[in-house]
A and B are shown apart, each in its own frame.
Chain A
Amino acid sequence: SAVISQKPSRDICQRGTSLTIQCQVDSQVTMMFWYRQQPGQSLTLIATANQGSEATYESGFVIDKFPISRPNLTFSTLTVSNMSPEDSSIYLCSVEGGVAGNTDTQYFGPGTRLTVL
């Protein structure tokens, strides 16, 4: 199983600033995913990040707002740019699983709780 850590675990930021969230995995993985979970809502996929290529963004999410880096097979960052209170959310990274042989599953990090004032 993969162990995933995220930094920071939580942060309070001012409107108009940017925050970079780090995701570290203890093993090499091809696909990493970034999700947003707004209060009382489900997880919404922001983008898929493969090492060595540009991230693929879902409808409603753009690179200028959520730039992603994927420098190697164990690490990725998500930046939330020019933040507004609407960006207050939990941001989660995940990796392709392989749980019980099921490659379609995912392992999730603990999340980063962001509050924008």
Chain B
Amino acid sequence: SQKIEQNSEALNIQEGKTATLTCNYTNYSPAYLQWYRQDPGRGPVFLLLIRENEKEKRKERLKVTFDTTLKQSLFHITASQPADSATYLCALGKGGGNKLTFGTGTQLKVEL
């Protein structure tokens, strides 16, 4: 069965450092992979989408890589700030219906 794994333990880093979150998947051939941010008591908010034929995508301080051979995506936040503290979810989809399958999420805490 399809499985999407993210670091279950919270990631604590110091302000200014780069946070790196991992998303691994098995038994899946996604057309694209997305990253969402979720704050407590709120719905997820879309951050970045990367397609199967793309290796890397950037948006401001965010960078996503996608390795379909390793079946892995890395999500980087550079120059992290306390306001980046949240849970980050990866989601995979095949398109043509927009159905997404979500990972369990990784909680990031950026400390002063």
Contact = CB atoms under 8 A, between A and B. Distances in A.
Contact of A106 (B32, B41, B95, B98): B98
A104 B43 contact: no
A31 to B, nearest CB: 6
B2 to A, nearest CB: 11
Nearest to A1: B46
Of A31, A33, A42, A92, chain B has the most CB atoms within 10 Å of the CB of A42
A104 B102 contact: no
Nearest to B100: A106
A41 B43 contact: no
B47 to A, nearest CB: 9
A96 B46 contact: no
Interface in B77-93: 89, 93
A104 B42 contact: no
Contacts of B89: 42-43
Interface stretch (A67-75, A78-86, A108-116): A108-116
A104 B49 contact: yes
A105 B49 contact: yes
Given A4-B43, A92-B44, 20 more contacts: A31-B98, A33-B98, A33-B99, A42-B102, A42-B104, A43-B89, A44-B102, A97-B46, A103-B98, A104-B31, A104-B49, A104-B93, A105-B34, A105-B49, A106-B46, A106-B98, A106-B100, A108-B43, A111-B42, A111-B43
23 contacts: A4-B43, A33-B98, A42-B103, A43-B44, A43-B89, A43-B102, A44-B102, A45-B101, A48-B99, A94-B43, A96-B98, A97-B46, A102-B49, A103-B98, A104-B31, A104-B32, A104-B98, A105-B49, A106-B46, A106-B100, A108-B43, A110-B42, A111-B42
Interface of A: 4, 31, 33, 41-45, 48, 92, 94, 96-97, 99, 102-111, 113
Interface of B: 4, 31-32, 34, 41-46, 49, 89, 93, 95, 97-105
